[in-house]
Amino acid sequence: MTVQSPILKGFDLLAEIERLKRERNAVILAHYYQKPEIQDLADFVGDSLDLSRKAAETNAGVIAFCGVRFMAETAKILSPGKIVILPDMDAGCSLEDSCPPDQFAAFRAAHPECPPHIIDHADHVGSTKSILDFALSSPAETILVATEPHIIHQMQKAAPGKTFIGVPGGDGNCNCNMCPYMALNTLEKLYVALRDLEPRIELSAQVMERARLPLERMLEMAGGTVGQGDVGTPIIDSDEGADLLISGD
């Protein structure tokens, strides 16, 4: 966790965040990949699609988005009249940065973010929300989770009788499945963002207008495939006692 600045030492951060949330008429959205302490204080926890829906539906005047920048930008596009803040504006996305438009088709082919030989052995491949639902409904008592490991916090809360095992990175030692950008958001930064209403997502009216139509179309299309993941029908190729789940976001 980021070292607290002197001005925050001695604060009851959770109480102060709750106070500011009430004063600002704010809603806190947290992606499944956020640290457990942020997930636990959020009003809504979900994957990028779930949180985009919540951002559009909320009546709050301020959206504090604990995720990465493009997710907060999506919230702003869907709720242009609301103030949208991101605890750390450096919380970007390596996949987004490495995928300019002319390479997007190739990207849709290396997605989800696992090599083919891992996907081929998975019992389920899907969005983060999809693998969470699958994990809770699966009869397996032990489940291997091949995505960002902070999702396991929600799995353990919802199904404490099961054993969830995070699959390590490519060489078996690194934590390369952990998103460093998601980790930039902390309770301290969330408090400061709510206090100052900064850093604030600002997009031009032209950009938001052009982006809104494909975003709304995406939400409409996804509404008919809830639970099937980002790649269509779930892959089921094993009836062993342990399930392997792979996420695409």
Domain boundaries, the chain: 6-94+181-222, 105-178+227-247
Quick one: CATH architecture of 6-94+181-222? 3-Layer(aba) Sandwich (3.40)
pTM of the model: 0.62
Give percent of the chain with pLDDT exceeding 90: 40
Q: What's the pLDDT score for residue 94?
A: 60
Contacts with 108 (C-beta within 8 Å, 6 or more apart), sequence order = none
Give me the mean pLDDT over the 97-111 stretch: 61
What DSSP element (H or E) covers 221?
helix 205-222
Q: What is the largest CA-CA distance in the chain?
A: 55
Burial state string for 152-170 with b = 16 or more CB within 10 A and e = fewer than 16: bbbbeeebeebebebbeee
The residues with which 28 forms a beta bridge, in sequence order, are 64
| 8 A C-beta contact, residue 148 and residue 112 | no
In angstroms, how far is the first alpha carbon of the chain from the final one? Answer: 24
Q: What's the pLDDT score for residue 221?
A: 74
Q: The tokens of 56 are what?
A: 């559009």
